[in-house]
Structure 1
Amino acid sequence: MITPVILAGGSGSRLWPLSRQRHPKQFLSLFGEASMLQESLKRLAPLRCRPPVVICNEEHRFLVADQLRQLGIDNACIILEQEGRNTAPAIALAALRVLEDNADSVLLVLAADHVIEDVAEFHKSIERARLLAAEGDLVTFGVVAGHAETGYGYIQRGAANGEYGYGVKRFVEKPDRETAEDYLATGDYYWNSGMFMFQAQRYLDELETLEPEIAHTCRAAIRGAHRDLDFIRLDQEAFKRCPANSIDYAVMERTQHASMVPLDAGWSDVGSWSSLWQVGNQDSQGNVTHGDALYHDAKNLLVHADHRLVAAVGVDDLIIVETKDAVLVAHKDHVQDVKKIVEQLKIEDRSEFKSHREVHRPWGVYDSIDHGARYQVKHITVKPGAKLSVQMHHHRSEHWVVVSGSARVTVASKTYIVSENESTYIPIGQVHALENPGKIPLELIEVQSGSYLGEDDIVRLDDRYGRCQ
C-alpha cells in the first residue's frame, strides 16, 4: 500500500502578505474552505493509502494537528523539524519511520501547497508510477508544460520505460524565456513537479550510496526520537549535523534508476500571486476576486480582500491583496520580487514578517485589535473544551470581558465562572488560567495594561499542549 508523505515545511514568502512565517501558504484556504494541506490529503481519499506522514516545522505543529483533526485524520505521523534541512533529509526521516512498521512501504511524496485540478487524472498517474516503483525505480512526476514557464525547473525525458513512463535524460534549472520556449517546442521537456514515488527502502539505499552523511544523521535522528502528544520529536542534536540538500540534487539527478511519469492534471505549485491568478476563476475582464471588490475600467487583476471593500479604477495587470495589517499592490510581471519586501520586513524585525494580526494557538485564536504605549486590546476566541496554560506575567495586568459563551477562570487558588456580559481582573504577578467549559466558542475582550506587553512575558507553569519550558 501507498504511504503518503506530505512535505509541509515551506515558508511561502512570495505569497505575502497572506502567507507569513508563522502561518505560511500551506495552511491557508486559497480555494474554498479547506487549506492547501487539507486539499492535498483530501484528493488522496479515493486511493487505498496507509495513514499519512506529515513533516513540518515545530512552530507549525498545532496548525498541522488541528487541520488533520478537522479532516477526521487522527492516526497520522507528524514529524517535527526544529530547523529544516531541505527535502532529501525530510523524505529520509519519513522512510525510516515508515519502515519501522511496514517493510514493503511505497512512498508517495507530495508538497502540501500544490493545486491539482483534475484529480481523476492525477490518480491515473499515481497508478502508473506505482508500477515503475514496484520495479525499483525512483519515479518523479513530470507536468505536461502548458506554456513557456520560467518559474519552474524542467525534466527532459529519455527513452520510453514501460507503457506510460520514461527514463530521465536530465534535470535542468529554471530557464530564461527564450530557453523555456525552446523546451516547449521540442515536446521533450516537462515541468519538474517536485512529487515522487518509490519504495521506502529503495530510496534509503540510493541515499546511502550517494549521500551517506545524510542517511547516517537521519538514522541517528530517528533512533533518538520520542513521542510528544501527537508528534514525533527528533534527536535534534543529531539532525543539526545533517547536511541540507534537496532530493533533486542529492538523489534524482545522480541515480541510475530515475523514471518519469507524465502528469496532465491542471497542476500548479501556486508559487506566486500571478500563478494564483492563472488558476483562479476569471471574469469576462480577466479579473479574479476573493472577497469584496468593485471594478471600473479594470482588467486582468487579482484582488484578495479579506476584511474590507477594495475598489479598482482604470488599472490593468495588478495584484492587490488586503489583510488586517498590510496591503500589497504589485504588477503581475514583478510578483517574484514580493520576497524582497519580505526580506526587508525580516531585517527590520517587523511583526508583519512573522505573523498576522490574528494569531492561531492550539486552544483557539487571538486578534490584536488595538495597542498603545502601555496597553493592548485583544479579541480572544477559545475552542469548546480548550484551556490556556496556567501562567503569570511580571509586567502586565489583564481585564477580561466575556462577550459570548462562559469562561472558567482560575486566579491564585480561586476558580469561578464568568458569563456573557461579565468581567474579571487579573493583577500583575498573579497565577491564573482561562478555560472554555462550554460547547460553543468562548469569545472575550482582553485589555492588557503595563510597562511591557510582549508575548515573552508569559511564564507558563502548566500546559496541556506541552509548551512549558
Structure 2
Amino acid sequence: MKIIPTIMSGGAGARLWPVSREAHPKPFIKLADGKSLLQHAFLRAALLPDVEQILTITNRELFFKTEDEYREINASGIACTYLLEPMGRDTAAATSIAALHVQQAYGDDAIIVLFPADHMIRDLDAFRAAAVEAIELAARGRLVTFGINPNYPETGYGYIEADGQDVVRFVEKPDVARAKEYIASGKFYWNSGMFCFSAGTMVELMQQHCPEILDQCRKSLLAAHQSNAVSGTQVALDRDLFAQVPKNSIDYAVLEKAEHIAMVGCDIGWTDIGSWNALSELIEPDGSGNRINGDAMLIETENCFIQSSERLIGTVGVQDLVIVDSADAVLVAHKDHAQNVKQLFAQLKASGHEAHSLHRTVHRPWGTYTTLEEGQRFKIKRIEVKPGASLSLQMHHHRSEHWVVVSGTAKVVNGEQELILNTNESTYIPCGHKHRLENPGIMRLVMIEVQSGDYLGEDDIVRFEDVYGRE
C-alpha cells in the first residue's frame, strides 16, 4: 500500500503580520528552535510508515523557497513532488489536485495523509500512531478526519461531533457558552483540518458532491507543465484553466455533504498557529507570565509576548501586550485583540503599502536582496547570489544601476560587454541596457546595487531569458 504524505502550504497568514507577508507566508515563520513551520511539517510527514515520496501543494512563486527549506532538513533524501498552483483556489481545489495526481501516479488505492503546513504538533509519537490508525480506516474506503481532544472551550476552531469513530456532524466556530456545552458533553473534538483517504475515495466523493471543481482541476492538471527539480519533480498547473476552478473549502465542498466519515480522536499537542497568542504558547513563560523570543529587557512587565529578530526591545510597566519587531515594521497589540491584526494587514494591502507583501529581505530563486535604504529617485540594495546561480537577462525602462562587488566573483553581461568583477570592482548599467548577473564561483556573491531613476518599483523589469522560467 502506497502512502503519500501531502502538505498544503500557502495563505498570507495575515494575523501573523509583520513576520508573515504575502511573499513570505506563515509556513516560513521560524520558531524558537530555528526551524520553520514548513520544515516541521516535512519532518512530520517523513515519520509516517514507508514514506518514499512527499507531495507539497504550494503557490508557483513559493516553489524555490520551499525547495530551499526542504534541502536544509531532508537528510535522508526523500523524493519530493511539488504541485504548483498559479493562484490560491482554497482547500477543495488543493485536495482535488492531490487526489487526481496520486490516482494517476499510483492508482486508486494509494493513501493520502493531507495536512496544512502552518500547524504545530508537539507529540510526534502520538501523531504517528493516529496517522497509522487513520491509514487503516482509509484503506477500507473511509474518508478520515483527525479530531483533537479539546482541553478548553476554544471559540476560534470548528468542532466535530462524533459517536466513537463515526462523525455525526461538523459544527462552525461556536460562542463561549456553546463551546462549554461541547466540552462538557465529551462528544466533541476540535476540527484539525487534517485528513486521510485513498485517492479513489476522494475522487469519487468529489465527483458526487463538487464535480465542477474536480473536472476543472483535472483539465488544469492534464495541461500542466512537468519538469525536474533539484529534489524531485515540479508540476506547474495551467494558469488559465486553474483560474476557472470554483473557490471553496474541502469542508463545505465534501465533508459536510458526505456520509460515513470516520474520525480518529487524538491528543497530539496540536496547535493551529492562527495568531500571535497561539504562537506564543510554544514558548515557556517566565515567572511573570512573559514569553520572550529574542533579545528583551523587561521591567514591571507581565503576561506579554515579545519577539525580536534583530534589536533589543525594552518594556516598562506594561501588561498583556503582543510586541513583534521585524527589520521594517513593529507590531504592538493587546492580547485580547490579536485576532484583529488581520485588519491591519488588510488596510496595508488596500493602501498599496509594500509591507503587506514583502520583507526588507526578499527571497528569489537565485538568492536574496535586502533593501538598505531608499529615498526620492534612489534605492540601495544588498544582493546575495548563490554559487552557480544567475539572475535573468533583463532590462529596466526607468532606472539605471551601479553594481559594486563586496565579496566573491561576479560574471556580468552589460549591454554588449561580458565582464568578470572581483571584490571592490564595479560596473554601471545605463537605463535600457540588457544585463545579467551570475555567480560563477563556489562561494556566495555579495554585492551592493545602487538604483537611480524616476521609478524604482520591482515591476519595472523586462525579462528576455531566465533559467527559472520567469520570462
Q: Give TM class, smaller chain.
A: over 0.9
Offset of residue 367 of structure 1? 0.8
Letter in 2 for 1:139: V
Deviations 1:108-147 (A, max 9, x none): 0010111000101100100111111111110000011121
| Contact 1:68/1:74 (<8 A) preserved | no
Corresponding residue of 2:83? 79
Q: Deviations over 1:5-58 (max 9, x none)?
A: 111122111000110011101012124222211110112323322312211122
Aligned AA (1:27)? F
Instruction: Give the corresponding residue for 1:214.
Output: 213
Cα deviation digits, residues 432-463 of structure 1 (max 9, x gap) = 11111222211111111112211122211111
Partner SS state of residue 53, structure 2:
coil
Deviation at 1:419, TM superposition (A): 1.5
User: Deviation of residue 229 (structure 1)?
Assistant: 5.1
Alignment of 1:387-426 (within 5 A): 387-426=390-429
Give the superposition deviation at 1:308.
0.8
Asked if residue 93 in structure 1 is aligned to residue 94 in structure 2, the reply is: no
Moved more, 319-328 or 429-438: 429-438
1: CA distance, partners of 2:398 / 2:211: 51
Backbone CA RMSD of aligned residues = 1.4
Q: Who is 2:172 aligned against?
A: 173
Partner of 1:251: 254
Matched-pair contact (CA < 8 Å) for 2:392–2:464: yes
* Letter paired with 1:186: S
* Matches of 2:112 and 2:160, distance apart in 1: 21
Report if aligned partners of 1:139, 1:196 keep a CA contact under 8 Å in 2: yes
Structure 2: gaps spanning 5 or more residues = none
SS of the aligned residue for 2:162 comes to strand
Q: Distance in 1 between matches of 2:78 and 2:220?
A: 24
User: Where has structure 1 moved over 6 Å in runs of 4 or more?
Assistant: none
- Matched to 1:182, the amino acid is E
Aligned-partner residue type, residue 240 of structure 1: A
Post-superposition offset of 1:352: 0.8
Which of 43, 54, 57 aligns to 1:55? It is: 57
User: Given that residues 224 and 237 in structure 2 are in contact (C-alpha distance below 8 angstroms), is that contact kept between their aligned partners in structure 1?
Assistant: yes
CA distance in 1, matches of 2:140, 2:161: 21
The Cα offsets for residues 197-225 of structure 1, whole Å up to 9 and x where unpaired, read as: 01011011011111111121122111222
Is the deviation greater in 422-431 or in 98-107? 422-431
Relative to the length of structure 1, the TM-score reads 0.95
Counterpart amino acid of 1:380?
I
Match of 1:201 in 2: 200
Please tell me the residue identity of whatever aligns with 1:38: Q
Contact persistence 1:286–1:299 (CA under 8 A): yes
Q: Percent identity?
A: 47
2:150 is the counterpart of 1:149:
no
Deviation, structure 1 residue 359: 0.7
Gaps of 5+ in 1: 161-165
Q: Does 1:278 align with 2:281?
A: yes
Residue 351 (structure 2) aligns with:
348
Matched, 1:120 2:125: yes
Distance 2:404 2:222 in 1: 49
The 1:318–1:59 alpha-carbon spacing in structure 2 relative to 1, beyond 3 Å, is same
Please, what TM-score do these two structures have when normalized by structure 2?
A: 0.95
Q: What is the aligned residue count?
A: 462
Aligned equivalent of 1:105: 110
Please name the residue that 1:30 is paired with. 31
Once structures 1 and 2 are overlaid, which stretch shifts more, 404-413 or 137-146? Answer: 404-413
Kept in 2: contact 1:5–1:91 (CA 8 A): no
What do residues 315-357 of structure 1 show as CA deviations (whole Å, max 9, x unaligned)? 1111001111111001111111001101111110110111111
* d(CA) in 2 for partners of 1:92, 1:31: 34
* Residues 1:183 and 2:170 are matched in the alignment: no
Matched, 1:460 2:463: yes
Amino acid at match of 1:225: A
Tell me if the contact between 1:4 and 1:50 (Cα under 8 Å) persists in the aligned partners: no
Whole-angstrom distance in 1 between the partners of 2:225 and 2:236: 5
Aligned to 1:227: 226
After superposing the two structures, state which structure 1 stretch, 303-312 or 192-201, moved more.
303-312
**Following TM superposition, by how much is the alpha carbon of 1:71 offset from its aligned partner in structure 2, in angstroms?**
3.2
Q: For 1:100, what is the secondary structure of its paired residue? A: helix
Within 2, Cα distance between the matches of 1:427 and 1:40? 46
Q: Secondary structure at the match of 1:43?
A: helix
Distance 2:351 2:78 in 1: 40
Q: Which residue matches 1:44?
A: 45
- Among residues 428, 431, 444, which one is paired with 2:431 in the alignment? 428
Cα distance in 2 for residues equivalent to 1:438 and 1:91: 42
Instruction: Measure the CA separation in 2 of the matches of 1:394 and 1:240.
Output: 30
Q: Distance in 2 between matches of 1:200 and 1:268?
A: 27
Q: Secondary structure at the match of 1:120?
A: helix
Relative to structure 2, which stretch is displaced further, 370-379 or 65-74?
Answer: 65-74
